[in-house]
Structure 1
Amino acid sequence: MSEGFSRRGLFGAGAAAATILAGVPAASASAAPRGTSQMTLRWWGNNGWEIRVGTKTILIDPWLTRFKTGTYTPAGADPRTPLSVNKELIDGYLDRGFLHADHILVTHGHYDHLTDVPYLAQRTGATVIGTETHLSLMAALGAPEDQLAIASGGEDLTFDGYSIRILRSLHSAVGARAQVPFPGSRPLSRRDRPRVISDLLEGGTLAYCVTGGGASVVNFGGSNYVESELAGLRPDVVLLPVGGAKVTQYVPRLLRTLGNPRMVAATHWDDFDLPLGQAQDPNGGLEVLRKVVAAASPGSEFVVLDHLGSFVP
């Protein structure tokens, strides 16, 4: 893809903001909901989530580096933007015990989901799950290959204290032609190193249902899904990206299929050209999502966190 792509109108925005003082996670702006489970969910910005169940931690799409690409400018993201990993920033959280991982789950291969994962895998020893393309990209970026576990969707896996159900899913449909940015795939045998953001291909999209500690949560890395994959799922929480304007009845159909979960937490709503700690909604999509959820599932609690805010389902 030789031209920039824009997510204006896809990933929305509003007026939420946060600060992180002295590298310590900030509390959310309003009182975070607290349920009765033994699961804690923390938002690391974009679609980055930390799920803690007892002593176990599962990360989804962790991207702390958040380098500038021009994503929310009229021209859209520059596909020639060099990839970079802020190891000092990541090490600061790891070394102070704010970040850990037993599993890292990758929803798709784009830069704002995958770039930091190889380094986090090196530092934490976590098992990383993704498609063949995702694993090919991560191996080429230095992820330890013996920690990479391939998935295609449909797997239902049990570990010590939690389970992970892997779901076939779809990426957001962008623009007038409802296209996927940076589409494509690559075989696991390729080892040429990705250099710029357009080298990180979507490579198939997965969603995940994580269950443990008396609660379950479903995460989507883009504002789309395969409805048939969700049949029978009744999660306590759905982590729901803003957008989805091209998807027929995106929010009502999804929430109805999932049995109107107790909690709907907004994800992938912030301007990720800004650093961690500056959770700003660039286009008003967060408030749009809030209103659509309220209309479609009035019994669901709508949760919005600042960066590194957390809640208990």
Structure 2
Amino acid sequence: MIADAFSPRSLAPAGAVRVQWLGTAGFAVEHAGTVVLVDPYVTRASLRRCLLDRLVPDAAAIARHAPRADAIIAGHTHFDHALDIPEIALRTGATVFGSRSAAALCRAAGVPAARVRDVERAPGGEPVVAEVGPFELRFLPSAHSRLLLGRVPFPGDITDCDEIPLRAERYRCGAVFAVDIRVAGRHIVHLGSAELVEAGLDRKEPDLLLLCVAGWTASQGFPERVARAVSPRAVLFSHWDNFFLPMDRPAIALPAMQGERLAERLGRASRDVRMGVLPLLGEVWI
């Protein structure tokens, strides 16, 4: 994928915020005992299951790899971002933040309505802001890469999911968010798809950008647009791994990720930006 790898505490030797990669676009961000999960997907169903069967969260994998959460964020609702969210919420008591599609999934799974928050804003309205313990979360409008023959895979909203479990194609994209996370004086931005809406980001200059790789070549000028709109100090690449393999296997890059090319272009467009990847369940501190 990309030669450089972050080592634990490599971004800040005395860092107060722990960032762990859960595979795909999933991360756990922790400070002072509060845990925020973003797009946690640890079931990692096989390709055969995704093509032929209804998808069921892997309870054992969730208990092992996502045992704690105070908040869970769905950046969008494709299965490789949202499948595990209702189950994690039921097990941990966390509040879920996401689109109307995410809310529909959670309601169908039995997550109490009081613990589900729709963060889609009205057209022209201000982004939704939420506080969870020491965290401030801001949900910014974003977009999904048109990686499937110039189209967004499984577009549209999830409006009817009474008969869960669902097949993979029933996990419609829904609204897409970039997530701005502030905690302990640190600033993290999560882009869970390789596309963006520049106006909402407005050169946030975060300490760490969690950047999706999958489908980036379908988004014109993506590295340069990220550099202009976000201007991060460090970038941790995600969603480059083969998420059809289980969590106990090392991360392997999916074909055609072109990670080295992405890093080269982003490096040229940015100034002194650090870039790297983590192994599955690896962590950095900031």
Residue of structure 2 aligned with 1:246, choices 212, 218, 242: 218
Gaps of 5+ in 1: 1-13, 17-27, 72-76
Partners of 2:204 and 2:232 within 8 A in 1: no
Q: How does 1:21-40 map to 2 (within 5 A)?
A: 31-32=7-8, 33-35=10-12, 36-40=14-18
| Post-superposition offset of 1:104 | 0.2
Q: How does 1:189-204 map to 2 (within 5 A)?
A: 191-204=162-175
Residue of structure 2 aligned with 1:53, choices 31, 35, 39: 31
Task: Give the Cα separation in 1 of the matches to 2:158 and 2:5.
Answer: 42
What whole-Å deviation, never above 9, does each CA across 1:83-106 have from its counterpart, x for those lacking one? 021112222346xxxx31110000
Residue type matched to 2:172 in 1? L
Q: How does 1:165-184 map to 2 (within 5 A)?
A: 165-176=138-149, 178-184=150-156
Residue type matched to 1:264 in 2? V
The equivalent of 1:63 in structure 2 is 41
**What secondary structure, in the 3-state scheme, does the structure 2 residue paired with 1:128 have?**
strand
Residue of structure 2 aligned with 1:290, choices 260, 263, 266: 263
TM-score normalised by length of structure 2: 0.89
The equivalent of 2:157 in structure 1 is 185
| Post-superposition offset of 1:186 | 3.6
The runs of at least 4 consecutive aligned structure 1 residues that moved more than 6 Å come to none
Residue type matched to 2:190 in 1? N
Partners of 2:156 and 2:172 within 8 A in 1: yes
TM-score normalised by length of structure 1: 0.82
Please tell me whether residue 102 in structure 1 is matched to residue 52 in structure 2: no
Q: How does 1:9-20 map to 2 (within 5 A)?
A: 14=1
Partners of 1:53 and 1:212 within 8 A in 2: yes
The equivalent of 2:124 in structure 1 is none
The equivalent of 1:306 in structure 2 is 279
Partners of 2:198 and 2:229 within 8 A in 1: yes
Task: Give the Cα separation in 1 of the matches to 2:65 and 2:44.
Answer: 15
Q: Which has the higher contact order (CA 8 A, sep 6+)?
A: 1
Residue type matched to 1:139 in 2? R
What whole-Å deviation, never above 9, does each CA across 1:13-57 have from its counterpart, x for those lacking one? x388xxxxxxxxxxx966342314411110000011000111111
| Identical amino acids, percent of aligned pairs | 28
Task: Give the Cα separation in 1 of the matches to 2:2 and 2:200.
Answer: 34
Count of residues in Structure 1 that have an aligned counterpart in Structure 2: 276
Q: How does 1:126-145 map to 2 (within 5 A)?
A: 126-145=94-113
| Post-superposition offset of 1:145 | 2.7
Partners of 1:15 and 1:280 within 8 A in 2: no
| Post-superposition offset of 1:234 | 2.3
Partners of 1:137 and 1:200 within 8 A in 2: no
- Bigger share in helix: 2
Residues 70, 301 of structure 1: alpha-carbon distance in 2 compared, 3 angstrom cutoff = farther
| Post-superposition offset of 1:191 | 3.1
Partners of 1:140 and 1:194 within 8 A in 2: no
Please tell me whether residue 155 in structure 1 is matched to residue 132 in structure 2: no
Partners of 2:42 and 2:65 within 8 A in 1: no
Please tell me whether residue 43 in structure 1 is matched to residue 14 in structure 2: no
| Post-superposition offset of 1:285 | 2.6
The equivalent of 1:207 in structure 2 is 178
The equivalent of 2:236 in structure 1 is 265
**What secondary structure, in the 3-state scheme, does the structure 1 residue paired with 2:144 have?**
coil
Residues 304, 289 of structure 1: alpha-carbon distance in 2 compared, 3 angstrom cutoff = same
Residue of structure 2 aligned with 1:122, choices 59, 65, 90: 90
Residue of structure 2 aligned with 1:86, choices 46, 49, 58: 58
| Post-superposition offset of 1:301 | 0.5
Residues 144, 285 of structure 1: alpha-carbon distance in 2 compared, 3 angstrom cutoff = farther
